[in-house]
Structure 1
Amino acid sequence: MEILVNTHNTIDADTSSRTGNLLLLPQMIVDTAGWIVFANHPADTLFGYDADALNGRNVTDILSINSVDDLVAGASQSHDTMVVEGVTGRSAGGEAIALTVQISTCALEGRASRYVVILQEAVAASSAEAAFRADYQRLSNAIKGAEIATWEYDRTTGKISVCDIWREVLQISSHDSDLIQKEWVARMHPEDGIELNAGLQRLLNGEIERFEDEYRFRSKSRTEWIWVHSDLAVAGRDLEGNVTRVSGAMMDVTKRRETEEALRRSVEQFRSTFDSAAVGMAILGAEGEFIEVNPRLSEMLGFTTEELLASSIRKITHPDDLKADLERLQRFETSKLNTFQFDKRFVRADGSVMWAILSVAKVRDDDGAFDHYIGQLIDVTSQHQQQQLKGEFISTINHELRTPLTSIIGSLMLLTSMDTEALSEDAKRLLYIAKKNGDRMHELINDVLDFEKFSGGHMHMHLSSQRISALVEDAISANLGAAHTYGVDFELFAPARAATCLVDPQRFQQVMTNLLSNAAKFANQASTIEVRVEEKGSDVCVSVTNFGEPIPEAFRDRIFEPFAQANSTSTRERGGTGLGLAIAKQIVEQTGGKIGFQTTEDGKTTFWFTLPR
């Protein structure tokens, strides 16, 4: 009874490279009846046969022996290797070949069912014997290390013989041929069995000499699928040429399959992300040519995919940005950085200009060499237009408001100081109100302009080494008027009186004025505001502490944001633009320090900032 089994076990291309072709020596695998199950190309060449022509022949056709048993009987054994000297071979043309033969056995079902035969012409044997033995040992180790499982199906008896490695791979412990066949068929994946059975049937019909396949085999626990690569070949025929035996070799390729599947999923995930991304994405070559583009990039630029793939990122770059872009790319190519980002202009298909944030990343191959770039574009044209409008507005404030306001405040100061003509109390009061509100407006305009300069990175710091306690004393003196207005006192504690740091004196005074005036505005009347200058590790820490209402919980997270105010009542009662702390934060951070605060429910609030020494 013929059983078509669901496996793929013969000497596949990978198996052949690990066995016959690995060392490029003439080699054969022979069964106990002398049939050549497998012969590598050097063996075919040695005897003058075409490729694979020795497969299926008997070893007696090419060696002057009556049977393979004669060869084994004449061998001298060294460990697990048998050596036969003085063997005569016969080429396809009938010429005699003097050979030295080395034989090792491979056990199947507890008996010697295979011989690995390595051949060498006797002319070179004496000089190469030591190297030959070493090569053979490496070959044996390679076969064992590769975990190549072998099996044989005898068509005349319907029996299957398998080696121990086969049982380990497929997790079948039985030695009974019928049980092996039943278990094999039962655990075969139904989708894979059709193709495997078809290939095995073609072998048995003599239509083909070899068949390779990969199939799934359920594990013994039935919880996972084992992938195996199988190579089947005709191993014997009867006198009429009918196939009587099929042999196979197989390897567990589950890990390789899992790796391939993981790679496939990764590629699919990247493709899905690439194609559906809400931003423009492209794969670029070394010269900036487009290799792949996603639909969003085509939509953003107004070009078709085909038009972009025939172009490059340089061709759609704004002419005024091209030189700077090339310089950036050259620096990026020679640097160790793998990513960089900058704003640039592109020219759309309709000729309009698009501002975009371009992010570029290098992709390297397995050897670490550059392979390609991945680029990402975010359209920020509207943001740049808004920035331009804001710049125009700031320019208007500077030229159309601050300049005349300065003249107005100066005129009010002159009127206040006039001694030649006495002013009534009502006139003095009106002048005072006008001057006070003019100063408030001037402060607001200056804060807006300063904030814009810091935000745009246009504010330059003029750093010099300064004694911090002296600067703090100057700031306290300059803000005594605010302390008098709100009925509070300032008190300085300076343990680090001699400490010096690199600061911009003018900007330092701006930070201190903001902290001191805020502390005075929100402190309890008749209270004392503590100002400290202390060393904190490698930094100098300046802190301002007042006692009043605690900072509201909801306001704490945004206290350093622009135009932030705890509530509108505070603004009306105490004044302020809501920009002071935001500007102070930018000044401190641009100097290399940090700024923060602590507030408690009992009303103690401390604002602090550090300066690196």
Structure 2
Amino acid sequence: MKNLQPKRTSPPPTQHPDVEALKSRIRELEILKTAVEAADVGIFYLDLRTNTSTISGAWRRLMGVEDTEISDFQAEWRKRVHPDDLSRLETALEEHLAGHTNRVSIDYRLRPFNSEEWRWFRTDASCTEWDAGGVALNLVGTQWEISKRKRMELALKQSEEDLRSLVDNTPIGSALVALDGVCIRSNKALQRYLGYSANEFAKLNFKTLIHWEDLPVHNDNVALLLNGHAASFEMERRYIRKDGSVVWGHVCCVLARDADGKPQHYVVQIIDITAQRRLEEMKRDFINLASHEIRTPVTTVTGALDLAHMLYAKGTDTKLAELLQIAKRGSDRLRSILDDLLDFDRVSASTMALTIVRCDITQVIQHAIARSAKILEERSAEISLTQSDEIIEWHCDPNMLQKVLMSLLSNAAKYSPKAGKILIDASLDAKNLTIRVRDYGIGIPVEFHEHAFEPFWHRDPSDARAHQSIGFGLSVSRHVIRQMGGELSIEPVEGPGTELQITLPQV
């Protein structure tokens, strides 16, 4: 009986590990090749020992030589680089090959074989092999077209240069100011305005240039910006020039923030109003001096005429009584003009002191009507007063509100027909007191509503002569109401006439 041994079988042959790694590497290279071709990036390999080049299909397409036989790709490439860029490009390559730089990264213009226009390309290249003496043996790199991006960059650069030129050459002083007050950038107009050079401005804290009396208001406005309670502010304030002189400027300041809302810096624009302010000061001084110098003789004449009128108005000499009446009207008119001039001067200079108290509004209106009795009687005007509440009390300056109402009643009587109606309505809600004065006279067209508040304004120059008005009334009245925190406006109405509306908010 035979001794049977189990038959030994050999294991199946296996692939050598190096073969598997090679296949994996080939697959990776195929994927990489596909990705590079899809990205339209040209790849080149330059053997510096033989001065021969190996290029990819994408490089051929970019150069426009897909179907062209070229023996020396390097020479063809150099020939098509823009002359103004070639020396810069060759210098960059030489610096790298000499070991002075780690790589070559450079933008340049090139004209492909099949094109007449210059296009922008970018090349990134580096050496990967050196001999024992440190001499570069090759150069491997990529090349791709960046014309679209470059056009955008050049357009952006030109736009920035245009904007910088506009800011630098505008007659309005402009500056970028850091949050700590350091001047980041200033234009020529601001440098001329304050007498500092650009380098001197860069070393200054902008707050040190503001007149000390204006600093508290400036600090309050800046706090509003930083707290997010305001996006910008405007004001007129004084600055100290390098030579120590004081100048006036109309300032607009905006706080620039980043995308997350974090404050970055201030954008400041300043218009030089020094000459304007000096002219206004001279005008106020003249008006003040003239008004006071004229007031004394006018008061004397008016007092004498009042006395003469009392003595002779009922005398037998009717001609004398008539002349005295004419003279008295003229002196009253002159005194009224002087009062208007002084009021306008005080209001425009914001020097008119207000006394805000809680008062009976109905009483204020009735006093205004009583003190306007003369003009109302002359025009035979019919006054009607309505109010939302039996008793209306509100915070205001009663004397100044009374003067405003007298001015509105005078205008309503003058510009209404004889025996015309004048309506006064006072209403109250939780937030505002509203007083309306309505007449049924010639009215003011809507397009002139804002112009009517300008000093000396008349719709027709003949109005000034016909109604003996110099055009201060509405301007002064609006200033007064605004100083009390309210507003005076002309409201649209149906039919003839004008409606003036006073709105005073709750204090």
TM-score, scaled relative to structure 1: 0.59
**2:412 matches 1:489:** no
**Structure 1: gaps (5+ residues):** 1-68, 83-101, 114-143
Residue in structure 2 matching 1:271, options 161, 164, 168: 164
Match of 2:441 among 501, 526, 548: 548
Of 481, 484, 490, the match for 1:596: 490
Q: How does 1:443-522 map to 2 (within 5 A)?
A: 443-522=336-415
Whether 2:90 is the aligned partner of 1:214: answer no
CA contact (8 A) 1:106 1:112 kept: no
Counterpart in the other structure of 2:331: 438
Task: Return the alpha-carbon distance in structure 2 between the equivalents of residues 523 and 112 of structure 1.
Answer: 88
Question: Equivalent of 2:28, from 96, 100, 105?
Answer: 105
Q: Which has the higher strand share?
A: 1
What amino acid does structure 1 have at the position aligned with 2:347?
F
Residue in 2 that maps onto 1:569: 462
Match of 1:389 in 2: 282
1:521 deviates by 1.4
Match of 1:544, SS state, is strand
Q: Is 1:402 paired with 2:295?
A: yes
Alignment CA distance shift 1:193-1:583 (3 Å): closer
2:418 to 521, 525, 542: 525
Deviations 1:305-345 (A, max 9, x none): 7888898879988xxx4576599579959972887654325
Check conservation: 2:446, 2:492, Cα contact below 8 A: no
Specify whether residues 503 and 365 from structure 1 end up closer, same or farther in structure 2 by C-alpha distance, changes over 3 A only.
closer
Q: Aligned equivalents of 1:334 and 1:541: distance in 2?
A: 30
* Structure 2 CA distance for aligned equivalents of residues 609 and 465 of structure 1: 17
Q: Is the 8 A contact 1:346 1:354 kept in 2?
A: yes
What is the rounded CA distance, in whole Å, between the counterparts of 1:426 and 1:561 in structure 2? 41
What amino acid is the match of 1:444?
A: I
Aligned-pair Cα RMSD in Å: 5.5
Q: How far apart, in 1, do the equivalents of 2:35 and 2:493 lie?
A: 87
1:160 to 37, 55, 79: 55
List per-residue Cα deviations over 1:41-68 (Å, max 9, x = no partner): xxxxxxxxxxxxxxxxxxxxxxxxxxxx
Give the alignment of 1:253-332 within 5 angstroms: 257=150, 260-261=153-154, 264-280=157-173, 294-296=187-189, 321=211, 332=222
Secondary structure class of the residue paired with 2:498: strand
- State the match for 1:32 in structure 2: none
Counterpart CA distance in 1 for 2:380 and 2:125 is 101
Give the direction of change, closer, same or farther, for the CA distance of 1:112–1:533 in structure 2 (3 Å limit).
closer
Question: For residues 194 and 420 of structure 1, what CA distance do their matches in structure 2 show?
Answer: 107
- Contact 2:478 2:487 (C-alpha < 8 Å) held by counterparts: no
Aligned 8 A contact 1:344 1:358 in 2: no
| Shift in Å, 1:503 | 1.9
Residue 343 of structure 1 pairs with residue 266 of structure 2: no
Spell out, residue by residue over 1:374-395, the C-alpha distance to the aligned partner (whole angstroms, 9 max, x if none): 7655443322332232222122
Q: Find the aligned partners of 1:393 and 1:501 in 2 and give their Cα distance.
A: 37
Report the CA distance between 1:582 and its aligned residue: 0.9
CA distance in 2 between counterparts of 1:225 and 1:475 reads 83
Give the CA deviation at 1:429.
2.6
One-letter amino acid of the counterpart of residue 607, structure 1: L
Give the Cα–Cα distance (whole angstroms) in 2 for the partners of residues 524 and 510 of structure 1.
Answer: 23
Do the aligned residues in 2 keep the contact of 1:511 with 1:584 (CA within 8 Å)?
A: yes
Aligned pairs for 1:185-224 within 5 A: 190=82, 194=86, 198=90, 211-215=104-108
CA–CA distance in 2 between the matches of 1:439 and 1:112? 97
1:407-450 Cα deviation digits (max 9, x unpaired) = 43334334444599957433333332222222211111111111
Q: Is the 8 A contact 2:124 2:141 kept in 1?
A: yes
Superposition map of 1:12-161 within 5 A: 73=19, 105-107=28-30, 151-153=43-45, 159-161=54-56
CA–CA separation in structure 2 for the residues paired with 1:452 and 1:540: 27
1:562·1:578 contact (CA, 8 Å) conserved in 2?
yes
**Identity rate, percent:** 25
Greater helix share, 1 or 2?
A: 2
2:411 match: secondary structure: helix
Q: Label 1:195 to 1:338 Cα distance change in 2 as closer, same or farther (>3 A).
A: farther
* Residue identity matched to 1:105: E
Work out whether residues 44 and 53 of structure 2, in 8 Å CA contact, stay in contact via their aligned partners in 1: no
For the 8 Å contact 2:82–2:108, the answer to whether it is kept is no
1: CA distance between counterparts of 2:293 and 2:170? 45
SS at match of 1:487: coil
* Cα distance in structure 2, aligned partners of 1:424 and 1:104: 130
Q: Which residue identity lines up with residue 160 of structure 1 in the other structure?
A: I
Partner Cα distance (2:325, 2:69) in 1: 113
Higher relative contact order structure (alpha carbons within 8 Å, sequence separation ≥ 6): 1
Secondary structure of 2:28's counterpart equals: strand
CA 1:231–1:402: 2 relative to 1, 3 Å? same
Partner amino acid for 2:404?
Answer: V
Q: 1:404 to 1:348 in 2, by over 3 A?
A: farther
Q: Distance in 1 between matches of 2:470 and 2:281?
A: 23
> CA–CA distance in 2 between the matches of 1:514 and 1:247?
90
| Distance in 1, Cα, partners of 2:470 & 2:46 | 96
**What amino acid does structure 2 have at the position aligned with 1:438?**
S
The normalised TM-score by structure 2 is 0.69
Report the alpha carbon displacement of residue 162 of structure 1 after superposing the two structures with TM: 6.3
Q: 1:426 aligns with which of 306, 315, 319?
A: 319
Task: Mark the runs of 5 or more structure 2 residues left unpaired by the alignment.
Answer: 1-14
Amino acid at match of 1:409: T
- Quote how far apart the aligned CAs of 1:477 are: 3.5
Mapped partners of 1:564, 1:495: distance in 2: 34
Structure 1 residues 503 and 226: CA distance shift in structure 2, 3 A? farther
User: How many pairs are equivalent?
Assistant: 476
